[in-house]
Structure 1
Amino acid sequence: MDFLRPDTVMDLNNIRAVLIRMEDTIVFNLIERAKFPRQPSSYQKGGIAIPDFDGSFVDWILREEEIVHAKVRRYQSPDEVPFFPDDLPEPILPPISYPPVLYPHPNKVNVNDRIKDFYVSDIVPSICPEGEQKENLGSSSLCDVECLRSLSRRIHFGRFVAESKFLMERETMTAMIKAKDMAGLDAAITNSAVEKQVLARLKKKAETYGIDPNLMSSPNHKKVDADAVVAMYENWVIPLTKEVEVEYLLHRLDQED
């Protein structure tokens, strides 16, 4: 996605192509995480003692990496939404003047806390066996960070979907936004046929990428539970993406007003 060319960014076909590629990233990240047990202490505040930090081990790694990535201007990109926006330093690289593609203040739409909650409470237990391996706490937590980042980027990309649909149906959506018609906006952005295609495609990817062909006769040949991946999209990713889209649209006219 070339954010220096707004005309290509707002092409719904381009957006869908990016979302399809994100599926691959998410599936592979989940496969990597599924190699380790659940590691409950890594998600508990104080589960692993960290000097001068009041949070979990995964939170600490996530924040420290975001601080480094912010210095190379990762979070100036329109498609990035940090988990710790208040802790980020200024970049050491010169800023990039991106043309406006989202309005008015897209980073106000931030559901990362909810993403982290469902990931820890629902996704990890559905793909990882019970238990804890102290020797692999670092490795599993780094996998967690990659999973969280890829899920966050996918869900917050709903802002681009919402903007594209707004530009295509400006008059209709403007009326719904002014009326604060959340149900109408939700119906306008929903394409049930596309959602079914997404789930079917995701199941095939999880089944294909998540099977070791050399171990087909083994009961442990599956690297990840494909049904769990599909359920994650159906119960969390798609609904939360639509919430992001509706929330974005509700504030779409703020700057114009």
Structure 2
Amino acid sequence: MDFMKPETCLDLVNIRHALIRMEDTIVFGLIERSQFFSSPSVYEPNKFHIPEFDGSFLDWGLQQMEKTHSQIRRYEAPDELPFFPSVLLPSLLPPVHYPKVLASYTDEINVNQEILEFYVKEIVPQVSCKAGDQLENLGSVQVCDIDCLQAISRRIHFGKFVAEAKYQADKELYNKLIIDKDIPKIEASITNAAVEETILVRLIEKGKSYGVDPSMKYSQNPQSKVEPEIIAKLYKDYIIPLTKKVEVDYLLRRLEDV
């Protein structure tokens, strides 16, 4: 995909390849996170005294990272969305004038707070090596969490490109469904159970390949760093459903740009 060439961004083959690459990033991120304890102190609001800040240590780290990344144009890219839009700073680099691919309201479709909630409550407990705090590793935990959250966010919000591609492929169908606000039929039109099953199978294979020391691969106890089935379950229960929510929310407003 080349964001300077709109036709490449709405090619479902290109989109599928991009999503597969994102799986690698997410799997590696979860494997990296799995070496640390659950570290509840990182997520507890105001656990640490941070001047002029109200929130968790993770929230603070995310905001600092997004401030910096906004200055190098990260959030000008159509496939990036911040968790804390209000903290962004002007870019230090000249703007990039990306051609319009998505609808004008695209940045308003933002489920990052939902991602943050399920990540902390559901993903962290399942991938951490042990429960509790390791005080010497709280900073490392925060850095790993930020990497995982940004990768998951990009993957979920990429659903907008899927939604736009499907809309462009059959405007007549989607215009009717949008006018009727027929959410069940919109959901059905964007759902491909066979593709979803293929994703889950592929994630298990990636978890087995990436999460095991190659020298232990054929032993009777390969000791995966993260259980591959857990990664697939997280996709099935959270990442795929939230991606569909993004697609539906995007499509329901699509006629605003007509």
What residue identity is the alignment partner of 1:228?
I
How many residue pairs align between the two structures?
A: 256
Distance 2:143 2:227 in 1: 20
Q: Deviations over 1:24-79 (max 9, x none)?
A: 00000000000000000000101222111101101111100100000111100000
Q: Calculate the TM-score normalised by the size of structure 2.
A: 0.97
Where does 1:105-184 land on structure 2 (aligned, <5 Å)?
Answer: 105-128=105-128, 129-184=130-185
Distance 1:117 1:65 in 2: 19
What residue identity is the alignment partner of 1:27?
V
The residue aligned with 1:69 is 69
The residue aligned with 1:244 is 246
What residue identity is the alignment partner of 1:247?
D
The residue aligned with 1:227 is 229
Q: Deviations over 1:101-143 (max 9, x none)?
A: 0012101000000001111000111111212110010011100
What residue identity is the alignment partner of 2:246?
V
Distance 1:135 1:218 in 2: 34
Q: Residue 222 of structure 1 aligns to a residue in which SS?
A: coil
Q: Deviations over 1:154-197 (max 9, x none)?
A: 00000000000001111000110111111111011001110010
Give 1:255 deviation, angstroms. 2.1
Structure 2 unmatched runs, 5+? none
Distance 2:220 2:75 in 1: 44
The alignment-based identity, stated in percent, is: 50
What residue identity is the alignment partner of 1:103?
A
Which is worse superposed, 213-222 or 20-29? 213-222
C-alpha change, 1:191 and 1:218, in structure 2 (3 Å) is: closer
What residue identity is the alignment partner of 2:37?
P
What residue identity is the alignment partner of 2:247?
E
Give 1:213 deviation, angstroms. 2.7
Distance 2:250 2:180 in 1: 15
Structure 1 unmatched runs, 5+? none
The residue aligned with 1:200 is 201
Verify the 8 A CA contact 1:104 1:251 in the aligned structure 2.
no
Q: Deviations over 1:185-240 (max 9, x none)?
A: 10110011100101000110011101113345586821111111011000000000
Distance 1:206 1:49 in 2: 38
Distance 1:3 1:71 in 2: 20
Q: Residue 239 of structure 2 aligns to a residue in which SS?
A: helix
The residue aligned with 2:103 is 103
Q: Residue 254 of structure 1 aligns to a residue in which SS?
A: helix
The residue aligned with 1:36 is 36
Verify the 8 A CA contact 1:67 1:88 in the aligned structure 2.
yes
Distance 1:246 1:186 in 2: 7
What residue identity is the alignment partner of 1:207?
K
Distance 2:94 2:178 in 1: 37
C-alpha change, 1:242 and 1:66, in structure 2 (3 Å) is: same
Q: Does 1:3 align with 2:16?
A: no
Distance 1:105 1:244 in 2: 12
Where does 1:19-98 land on structure 2 (aligned, <5 Å)?
Answer: 19-98=19-98
